[in-house]
Amino acid sequence: MPEPVIENIEASLLTTLNTITTDNGFYHSLSWYRAARIDFLDKAPNEFVGIIRNTDAALAVEPGTLTSEWEQNFELEVILPEDNTSRAANRVFSDIQKKINTDRTFQSGMLPGSHIDGYTLNSEASRVTIIVNFKVHYRTQFADPETAV
């Protein structure tokens, strides 16, 4: 059975973001994972670790008779080294923007209107993170979430 379109988009997002490395011309090398029941506290404090999360269920944007248009919100959260948060946050945000906005292979599964909404810094007792909000618009055949249109 084929995977749902949103699953393919999230898997493609993971692959795309994992190419953000200093060897590829970015400020930082980021290691990305999909959200799981782990807290990533076992990572070294000097590693940039990214977590991809679906924040809500996909919302129907424009239901039609032959197709359905959807919007899925993602949080792209990166754990920042504790000694360099402001500069690191600006650079990580720049790296993510650059990759998502220029990777034509990744963009091919999305509709116009997919965009980065900005970011916030989140300080917890154990770590500092940057959370980038990313909205993806996509279209499927009506009543067939496995077929992109």
In tens, the pLDDT along 72-127 reads 999 999 988 766 678 889 999 999 999 998 888 777 778 888 889 989 988 876 67
* Measured distance CA(32)–CA(84) in Å, rounded: 20
The answer to whether the beta carbons of residues 106 and 16 sit under 8 Å apart is yes
130 CB-contact burial (10 Å; exposed 0-12 / middle 13-18 / buried 19+): buried
Residue 50 to residue 75: CA distance in whole angstroms: 10
pLDDT digits (tens, 9 = 90+) for 18-46: 999 999 999 999 999 888 755 665 665 66
Query: Model pTM greater than 0.85?
Result: yes
User: In b/e form, how buried is each residue of 77-107, taking b as 16+ CB within 10 angstroms?
Assistant: bbbbeeeeeeebbebbbebbeebbeebeebb
| Comparison of pLDDT for 73 and 56, the residue scoring more | 73
Average pLDDT score over residue span 51-75: 85
